Structure 1
Amino acid sequence: MNLKFRILSVSFLVFAAILLSITYFRPKHSAPPYLGSSYRSYNSTAHLPATDYAIATFLTGQAKDDDSYFVATRVLTYQLLHAESTKCDANNITFLVLCSESVSCAQKATLRADGATVVQVRDVPVNWWIHSGVTRWKEQFTKLRVFEMTEYKRILFMDADTLLTGHIDGIFDEPEVAILAPTLDRKNQVRWGESQLPSQWLFAARSDNAFTGERKHPTPPLQAQAFSAGFFLVAPDRRIFEYLLSVMAIPRRFDPFTMEQSLLNYVFRRDGRMPWRELGWRWSATWPNEEDVKLEVVSLHEKLWKTGPQGLKDMWNRKKGEMLRFHERRRGEGP
């Protein structure tokens, strides 16, 4: 064996040892560092009203020729704050729009004028091994900031591409969200490298119809093992946020293709120590169909400006038109 070959062999072994130590011998309970304890971005000026409950959505920056999610956020804001058939009646609920750092100042100003409480949050750092083919995938993890918002007892998170058919605020009165649950003593589910769990928690969601027939799902729907990360209700807890970060730091601990949805389904898996609770089926539907509307499912999660049954797309476009006319009238009433 010549000298050059020996040097190459030793170099390869040293590199493999370093890589192995980084990947597998990370200190227990480690989490990627983040600056400070506040979720707020340095230039966030939002004043958060002192209410018990909040409904939150999340907006990221858009391509110059695509403002679809910005428009959807405006439509959702209109539905929750202004439309008589869907607006929140309770005085103890705040509507929040969490904005990633890439959202423009003009869009944030428009949302504030529409009545939303805009909160610019710092993006959640994404580890090197997490990647997906989905557009804007990195920023989707920033919606996890809701777990840090301990100003509120409960937060209902909804993706912006949601059409409401009725009042959603009654969800905070459901028995499934009234009481925190103790973390289960399932020692076989204690995984290496993950930070300590809180002693009690709350995470409730709806089964994802993607696993029970997609558009052809029955109504009432079947329950599934997995939930949609576009609609969930939590009791904010910073320990859970730190736990999520610790899981993100461990390569291949969850499938990153569906981003934060895979992470949340891993953390709150049915057989884990914090199994997710099932909310009533009338609160939300993914892959919505006409039967969901007929049976008064309150929120329909779909990009209805471009996909979905034509009747539901027509409903969304009518709601968009209502929103635009409403704000035109408001501007006309001003000085």
Structure 2
Amino acid sequence: MKAAVWHGAKDVRIEKIELKPLEADEVRVKVAYAGICGSDLHEYQEGPVMIPAAFPDPLTNRQAPLVLGHEFSGIVDEVGADVTGFKPGDHIAVNPVITKNESADDVDVYDGYSFIGLNTDGGFAAYAKVPELNLYHLPEGFPLKEAAVIEPAAVAVQATKEGGLKVGQSVVIFGAGPIGAMLAAVARAVGAAKIVVVDLAEERLAIARKMGATDTVNASHVLNIRDAVRDILPEGADVSFEVAGVQQTFDEGVQSTKPRGSFVIVSIVAHPLSLDVRQLMNSGVRIATSIAYSRETFQQTIDLVVSGQIDVNDIFTSEIRLNDLVHKGIVALMDDKHQEKIIVNLTKEK
């Protein structure tokens, strides 16, 4: 079968590989759609970031070269001998997080985690092997294209939980990429009164407004971002989300949060950032971090998306085939700010 295989930075190849035999607890999924994530861009630009290149991953015992793709949906094709909860033909969403499963659900991911599509073979392929524990049922009539972005939606749902966001509160989101736009949608579903999104790209800010932002700030059009946010939220935001992963937005996020408010770091930070602890102490701003999601959060996200309480359709800007993943997918997302979420359609791949 064809697959997109990461061999190194700037070296992702569409090549033919053999799908390994199923383990007893695994399901073979015929992949329908797979989304390109910012993590995939990081691995392409400057990897390995999360991909195990020098040594096997401790949870998956795999190392590069690996098939990318951790945002995907599909249909069950075959089940292992011990699988009881799924059968061929079932429509499924994939939770790509692999953990030890030795801790309570809300702390399990922080006890060590790996990702399907980063630490073992993923969904940029005709078929993918997935442990039964990582699969979730979908209504048969629910669009599998929308199901492929349940994973980034779950990142946003978990982040709002970590920030303690409540009905009627105010939000500022730094970064209008896919996670930032999803955060706007989730904040609207939660019932936030004001949702401000900050970004440099007007095209992405327009998508954020469709997804739920009440106000946007184009950072390239203002002299001082903090002042621009404070013009909208004079007291600052109850909860701020940093989704850009750079020093400037980290600093501005703290400054835009009201005293005793919450500042949530959601981005995958590729390089160390500095922290002014005195500024935090003087304002009483609480810092939280959010990586991935609990199993409960993933199921809750499915329920929210399937019911329409979170509408993910505006996130899609392009649909491509697997052969075009690098140039029309990864490179396009790096170079073209009109792009938000590029989805790979594998339903017609040979």
Q: TM-score, normalised by structure 1?
A: 0.29
> In terms of Rg, which structure is larger?
1
TM-score (norm 2): 0.28
Is the strand fraction higher in 1 or 2? 2
